[in-house]
Structure 1
Amino acid sequence: MGAGGRKGLDFNGLWRAGLGALLLALVSLTPLPSQAQSFSFSNVSIEGNARVEDASILSFLNLPRGQAVSAGDLNAAYQRLVNSGLFETVEIAPQGSTLVVRVAEWPVINRINIEGNSRLDDEELLAVVETTPRRIYSPSQAEADAAAIAAIYEERGRLAASVTPRIIRRSENRVDLVFEVAEGGVVEIERLSFVGNRDYSDARLRRVLATKQAGLLRRIIGRDTFVADRIQFDRQLLTDFYSSRGYIDFRILSVNNEFARDRGAFFITFNLQEGQSYDFGSITASSQVPGIDPQEFAAVAQIRRGQTYSPQAIDNAITRMERLAIRKGLNFIRATPQITRDQRNLILNVNFELERGPRIFVERIDIEGNATTLDRVIRREFNVVEGDPFNPREIRAAAERIRALGFFANAEVEARDGTAPGQVIVDVDVEEQPTGSLTLGGAYSTDSGIGFNVGYSERNFLGRGQTLAFDISTGANSQQSQLTFIEPYFLGRDLSARISVFYETTDLDEADYNTRVAGFSPALSFPVSDNGRLQLRYRLAKESILDVDEESSPIIQADEGSEYNSSIGYTYTWDSRRTGLDTESGVVLRFGQDLAGLGGDSEYLKTTLTARAQRQVWNEEVTLRAIFEAGTINSLGDRNNRIIDRFFLSSRQMRGFEPLGLGPRDLAAPNEDALGGNAFAVARFEADFPLGIPEEYGISGGVFLDAGTVWSLDETTGFDGVEVDDDLNVRVAAGVSVFWTTPLGPLRFNFSKALKKEDYDRTQSFNVSVQTTF
């Protein structure tokens, strides 16, 4: 609403008017000397009320007629009327035997507007306003609403924002309520610094925090604004970071927030006490419970001497021991860690005391708050049911699993006394949140050009915990679409069932042929160990090679046409990466095989292997990474493997070369076709490190060395009968990378040089890629 031509009354004026009325009333109540002690009235005259009944006003007065009333009684009646919140002004005046009560009712709110806001929409701000139109105006509630609006701005880092409620008088005792907003500027965090840190640099610790320093992209990044509540979260992040690295004495002594008004910025300093990092020493177990072999339980702890101490390792060891006890039929066994510190050698000796806990059973599990999600989706996260022995650790683990589902904004799991001694009731209180998402994405690379992605996903389909996803990706030379359905607990077990329907086409600039693949693939996956998981799958697809150019190699021309591919396969994955603050450290091994020939036209055995190891060194400033990939495809029939089934190395797998830029090539063909190979191997070695640029800019660097090749063909006779070289010729490339984490996505620049290559290879010295979702 515009302010022109209207007359506003601010709240200071209202309260001054109310105070003047109070003083006037007190003066009017001052009696003559002969009347100083009391006043008696037989009639009450009420003036000015339109909506409030006379009876309601008399009930607030609560003064007897015909009896002596003191000045204090009259003042108390006045206060009751004022505090009722119904009247803007109140006056009580005795006139002879009549008590005259004059009131001016608070007006009714006609409408509510917000003015002066440009950074935040009216809808977002009005959502916190409790005052509503067609209700009696309350100045105290309007002030509370103004404070709530200001709090939203404070969360956005605009600490200088102010909100003033004003009213505009209208006819018939109505008013428009206007919240005038002065947004002010964003209060950014100019500097995040640390005192007392010896082993980790300020730059490394800043990467741990959710709060960031203001930098080049300060207009876009939202985490560089000061939010007081975020500081408490940062304290927990720092504590978890140090604890997971063995710093058992770590303390945050204080956090100082200094506000520089002249610069409109905060300077935050964390005062730390690091202490020393401890490793695990001896790991033992002891017990006085009959039937328990302590050595057997100590063996399942899986903690090595010399391993850096971590609370997570202790929790995992306790879980394994208690599960072992359950498998042996020993209920109510608790493993309590007893830690002995060896300060000279900086080790912690841990003895797990196995003892029998109290005999408590789960009476029932009550679930509330799940309006959409079925009870069984939540119950299956518990490893206990009604009547099982109660294990507090298992209940806490179930609570974490429920939160990890991502279906709930909040999930609280608590145990309380049951209806009988020795029983507990587990209460689960959840607050659901939206689980569907619409994804719009874009990507660019020098290899594939500009691409777009549209996807829809529902992670809690029909409240059953199932996933339904549809995804369409388009690029300059390829299109992919896929529909996927996942049942994470197939047959009521930890067995994930998946079925995918897919359609893919390619029109590569580097090849004079096109491909089209359409089919479906069901799969089952399940854990086989703490770190291992096995997937079993089937795939049926129609694979077509189209539009082969007449100047292409006869090896490719022989593959033109459509064939059906029916195959079964498996993939075993072993992942030792740690969870929490350092999810990338560790080793990932993946081995898979696919057997084609169960019906269909293709007959082959394809084997692939991937090994990935990563480690952070130099106080976690530098990340070292080694990746090895290899694969073979062996024909099982009298037919050669088609080009659509053979291996190629992309520029992501082997930098320094164009897509389809290395491997066997028919040089006699006019278009010098790349033919792929029946085998490939590539090893990549990388190091990522900071460049000394302030980390809030999100720019870091890296170096890499790649070595690999593609080789082996079933048919080597090319164009005009010329033999194609399909020998194992290793290629080597090296280069540097620049990484830039931008609001539009991670941007990567690769500058590379092929150090070892064949004369016919096609190299690429520069590559850039970016990908983002909205």
Structure 2
Amino acid sequence: MKAASRLMSAVSAVALSATIATAGAAALQLATITSVEAATVSRIEVRGNRRVDADTIRTQVGIAPGQSFSNADLDEAVKRLFATGLFADVSIRQVGGTLVVTVDEYAIVNQVLFQGNKKIKDRNLAQAVQLQPRRAFSSQLMEADAEAVREAYRRIGRDDATVTARTQELADGRVNVIFDIQEGDRTKIGSINFVGNNAFSDRRLRDVISTKESNVFSFLFRNDIYDENRLRADEEALRRYYYNRGYADFQVLSSSADLVDNEYTVTFTVDEGERYRFGEVDIETTIPGVDVETLRRQLKTRSGNTYSAKDVEDTIVNLTETVAGSGYAFARVTPRGNRDFENRTISVVYSIDEGPRAYIERIEIRGNTRTRDYVIRREFDLSEGDAFNQVLVQRAKRRLDALNFFQTVNITTVPGSQPDQVVLVVDVVEKSTGEFSIGAGYTTSSSSSRNGGFSVEGSITERNFLGRGQFIRAAASGGADTRDYRFSFTEPYFLGRRISAGFDIYRNTRTFANSNDKDVYDREVTGGTVRFGLPITEALSTQLAYNYSQENYTYGRDCKGGSCDLSPYIKAAIDDGKWVKSSVSGSIIYNTIDNIQDPREGLYANLTLEVAGVGGDAKFVKVTGRANYYHTLSDDLDLVGLITVGGGHISALSGDLRVFDHFESNDRIIRGFAYDGIGPYDADKGDHLGGKTYFHASAEAHFPIPVIPESFGLRGAVFADAATLYGSDLTGLGPVAGTSMKWRASVGASLIWASPFGPLRIDYAEPVVKEASDDIQHWNFGISTRF
């Protein structure tokens, strides 16, 4: 028993010793852990740095000698060093009383070089890449930049371009980044086809979309480049086209682009559906105090009319604005359609109720690399904190589209930080806003003319100057006897308000010849205009302007001292020498044109009153007006009608008008007659002297040219013109004839070309009603001016 007892005591002692040892080890381990988690060092050593100063690295570490630190502090130090973007790798470890910070610096980009590129300039490619000189190099960024360069080539139609990125090692940790480019051949769009269309021809639908088939001028237009985003925009353009012409069930089933032998074949498969008209149109509301009968005046949809999505949208806008103006800021207008498949009608009920109370938390703009944010924001009638209104959002989108700064504009909403707040997200894709235009013209005359011959015109235009939304244009033109220079600038939002302000500066010189082709006198006009424009409604605006010009008349080289056979009225005006006109003018402009570049529907009218006599020599009151009405006569044939009417009258405020203050006829008044070729004339000398009053009217029909692809932008026209120019204040120096109201008329045909150099037009006109004193001019070739 004693032996057993001693054995048990020994075992217990061993166990106790083991327990004590284990506890001591645990205590030692705990002490070690505690020391690591709350360590101190006497110094910090930096290794591996070549360009970055060691003290800068120590500052980023944020741990000072003698300061206790933990593992979490070390993790934060590593994160801070990585965040500088200067290091490819960072490690921190403790060696005795020293904290060792080891870094592996990124190489620094010395140059970014592009080799093999001809179609895209170096500076344009440099804007597309992220790597820049004197910044840290990253292989990931280099690969991303190579893809960005490939994308730049895809945007100009070179889908098979290859880009290889490499580096060239230099001293002191610097590298050159080199992109080797093989541009390849330019891809083209061989054909654009439509499947499933019966109501409209392929030709007409190809004219609706922005993607065009390749032709000899495509390298100038750049509209034959396949782009998936453009294809999506074309789908939307087709939908809008059909929806506005009664096809409410229209669908684009698919759109595809197949590349064979470097040419794309683009195919749109569509389902047109049936064509509808509006059935019954009604309004209902749950808001007390809203008068339904008063709102009916705001309806753009009429029973029996062809269904149009645009008419529905315009009605929603009108109703929303009217109800909101009555104090219901959150009113919501919802159209409810009911199809009658048998009669092919759609009845529409506009339901007005109190919408959910939602406010705009912020407006977020994305994709604008050039256009400044405020240029986009100012097109919104909404700002942060305002009540959300979908109608005003859609109006802003239409305004942004109308700026012509962007390929696409998409506005979406996402939930805000609170349940009653939303974030407006505006995604834009910018496009080129600069234009270089060059054109030529030629006029001939079978009788006397003051102007004629060959002329050229060139201009540089920027619609979004410096991304500020400002318009700037410089133009020059000249011919054998003419020189014109003009500079224009417009700020569309003067002082931050929707008021346009701008100025024009110009100088024009002319040499006028008589019937014997003698240079009889020269005119030089230098002047400028300061103008302000104010919108009244979406379609109606007004413009106020101050105009100043100085005219100098001298005898031509064949008429020194007035020795030539010239009307005494013209001689008297030349002898007056310098003539100063200082005037103010006001205009009312009404514009509902659907597309200024290619109008097919709408009215553009301008009425101007000018009063001269604010200083200067000229003292008169002048009224002029012109209206152009476009209407599509046949969608399938792409036949567009145009009616133009206009007129003007001028009266002296004191004394008589000068000969040069009278109106002169031109091709905008009537074609088939020479410049200043109709109206009052000197009965003895035969020179036309202009008139006090004119009226004119014109009817045209525009149509596509058969066989010629629509991508050429070439159209034909036939027209009939009528005009009269009469009345005169000229007396005392000889008899003036032709002062009574006599109408002239002409008929003719035209070729109109939407060329890369600007709109060009050739007219041939044959007078059918004329006077013996008129000067005839059959051909006219020059820049086409619509408005």
Same fold (TM > 0.5): yes
Alignment partner of 1:747 is 2:745: no
Match of 1:711 among 689, 707, 726: 726
**Structure 1 residues 378 and 204: CA distance shift in structure 2, 3 A:** closer
Match of 2:355 among 354, 357, 375: 357
Q: Distance in 1 between matches of 2:491 and 2:347?
A: 44
Q: What stretches of structure 2 of length at least 5 have no aligned partner?
A: 1-47, 51-86, 89-105, 444-451
**Structure 1 residues 717 and 277: CA distance shift in structure 2, 3 A:** farther
**Structure 1 residues 137 and 293: CA distance shift in structure 2, 3 A:** closer
**Structure 1 residues 618 and 329: CA distance shift in structure 2, 3 A:** closer
**Structure 1 residues 555 and 130: CA distance shift in structure 2, 3 A:** closer
Alignment partner of 1:571 is 2:571: no
Alignment partner of 1:605 is 2:621: yes
Q: Distance in 1 between matches of 2:665 and 2:739?
A: 15
On the 8 A contact 2:761/2:784 being kept in 1, the answer is no
Match of 2:442 among 440, 445, 450: 445
Alignment partner of 1:237 is 2:237: yes
How is 1:240-279 mapped onto 2 (pairs within 5 angstroms)?
240-261=240-261, 264-279=262-277
Q: Distance in 2 between matches of 1:581 and 1:769?
A: 17
The aligned counterpart of 1:765 is 778
The aligned counterpart of 1:301 is 299
Match of 1:624 among 633, 641, 644: 641
**Structure 1 residues 513 and 589: CA distance shift in structure 2, 3 A:** same
Match of 2:692 among 669, 678, 696: 678
Moved more, 157-166 or 645-654: 157-166
Shift of 1:275: 1.5
On the 8 A contact 2:190/2:264 being kept in 1, the answer is yes
Moved more, 313-322 or 539-548: 539-548
Alignment partner of 1:507 is 2:511: yes
**Structure 1 residues 478 and 413: CA distance shift in structure 2, 3 A:** same
On the 8 A contact 2:439/2:782 being kept in 1, the answer is no
Moved more, 594-603 or 319-328: 594-603
Q: Which amino acid aligns with 2:326?
A: K
On the 8 A contact 2:441/2:783 being kept in 1, the answer is yes
Q: Distance in 1 between matches of 2:112 and 2:125?
A: 11
The aligned counterpart of 2:650 is 633
Which digits, 9 at most, give the CA deviation of each residue in 1:218-255, with x for residues without a partner?
Answer: 55553334444432332222222212222111112223
The aligned counterpart of 2:288 is 290
Q: What stretches of structure 1 of length at least 5 have no aligned partner?
A: 1-50, 54-84, 87-105
On the 8 A contact 1:607/1:632 being kept in 2, the answer is yes
Q: Distance in 1 between matches of 2:154 and 2:190?
A: 17
**Structure 1 residues 319 and 761: CA distance shift in structure 2, 3 A:** same
Q: Distance in 2 between matches of 1:172 and 1:571?
A: 68
Q: Distance in 1 between matches of 2:622 and 2:632?
A: 34
How is 1:180-195 mapped onto 2 (pairs within 5 angstroms)?
181-195=181-195
CA RMSD of aligned residues (A): 4.5
Q: Which amino acid aligns with 1:691?
A: I
Moved more, 221-230 or 323-332: 221-230
**Structure 1 residues 635 and 344: CA distance shift in structure 2, 3 A:** farther
Alignment partner of 1:736 is 2:733: no
Q: Which amino acid aligns with 2:643?
A: A
Q: Distance in 1 between matches of 2:512 and 2:150?
A: 55
On the 8 A contact 2:408/2:429 being kept in 1, the answer is yes
On the 8 A contact 1:435/1:458 being kept in 2, the answer is no
Q: Which amino acid aligns with 1:680?
A: Y
Q: What is the number of equivalent residue pairs in this alignment? A: 666
**Structure 1 residues 161 and 599: CA distance shift in structure 2, 3 A:** closer
Shift of 1:677: 1.0
TM-score by length of 2: 0.72
The aligned counterpart of 1:72 is none
**Structure 1 residues 249 and 726: CA distance shift in structure 2, 3 A:** same
On the 8 A contact 2:501/2:533 being kept in 1, the answer is yes
Q: Percent identity?
A: 30
Q: Distance in 2 between matches of 1:334 and 1:147?
A: 46
How is 1:338-487 mapped onto 2 (pairs within 5 angstroms)?
338-362=336-360, 380-384=378-382, 388-398=386-396, 401=399, 422=420, 424=421, 426=423, 441-446=438-443, 447=452, 449-453=454-458, 473-482=477-486, 486=490
Moved more, 537-546 or 604-613: 537-546
On the 8 A contact 2:532/2:544 being kept in 1, the answer is yes
Q: Distance in 2 between matches of 1:735 and 1:658?
A: 15
Which digits, 9 at most, give the CA deviation of each residue in 1:259-285, with x for residues without a partner?
Answer: 434xx4332222211112323333221
**Structure 1 residues 462 and 705: CA distance shift in structure 2, 3 A:** closer
TM-score by length of 1: 0.73
Q: Which amino acid aligns with 2:534?
A: F
Q: Which amino acid aligns with 1:449?
A: F
Shift of 1:647: 1.0
Shift of 1:317: 1.8
Which digits, 9 at most, give the CA deviation of each residue in 1:336-392, with x for residues without a partner?
Answer: 111112233332221111111223345676889999999876665443456543324
Moved more, 743-752 or 684-693: 743-752
Q: Distance in 2 between matches of 1:309 and 1:185?
A: 46
Shift of 1:585: 0.9
On the 8 A contact 2:457/2:475 being kept in 1, the answer is no
Q: Which amino acid aligns with 1:679?
A: T
On the 8 A contact 2:705/2:716 being kept in 1, the answer is yes
Q: Which amino acid aligns with 2:208?
A: V
**Structure 1 residues 346 and 646: CA distance shift in structure 2, 3 A:** farther
Q: Distance in 2 between matches of 1:267 and 1:318?
A: 40
